Amino acid sequence: ALARAVNYESAGTVEFVVGSDKSFYFLEMNTRLQVEHPVTELITGIDLVEQMIRVAAGEKLSFTQADIKLEGWAMECRINAEDPFRGFLPSTGRLVKFLPPKETSDASGTTRVDTGVYDGGEISMFYDSMIAKLIVHGKDRATAINRMRDALNAFVIRGISSNIPFQAALMQHPRFQSGNFNTGFIAEEYPKGFDAS
């Protein structure tokens, strides 16, 4: 309805917050895809970038909202060049070793890595700290969490620090696993910062 009201005809992301009473509060609309768009792609089976290009070329969508089916559960971790043991300070330098987990897609789910870095590449202070996006899909939330944990544990980065240890700890946290958390989760569970011990 928002896009129709302003005659918007492209990809866009509407951001909102959902209250504990399931009420929705609109935040903003970005006229682009978000970094998390692979999550939507994996649960819908629709390549959003392809569709965005087709619409920009004047094509009509070949499906309607009613045609879109949501299947399974997907999640994404942004792998950033930052040190969780030092208050998430930026970490710059040479990627001595960069070995992401193997990308797979089979009946049990999907593991996908979107990146543009490589062994020997430089992580500069002049650009965004994101090294890669790690996206997983499984039949349900527990399966996706387990798949993400395995993928994070298989990720090898040497030469700089990354937030992988923190994200791996989150995947094992009972409150995260239960889904019983809110936007205050990190402040509540890690009030003195992250320590893997």
Longest dimension (CA), the chain: 55
Give catalytic status of residue 28 as yes or no.
yes
**Distances 105 to 43, 150, 171 between C-alpha atoms, Å:** 13, 15, 21
Identity at 98, one-letter amino acid code: F
Catalytic residue among 9, 15, 28, 71: 28
Matching residue, tokens 């399974």: 72
CB under 8 Å to 162, separation ≥6 — which residues?
A: 79, 80, 81, 82, 91, 131, 155
Is the backbone of residue 88 left (phi > 0), alpha (psi -120 to 50) or beta?
left
Q: Count of CB atoms within 10 A of residue 88's CB?
A: 16
Residues forming the active site: 28
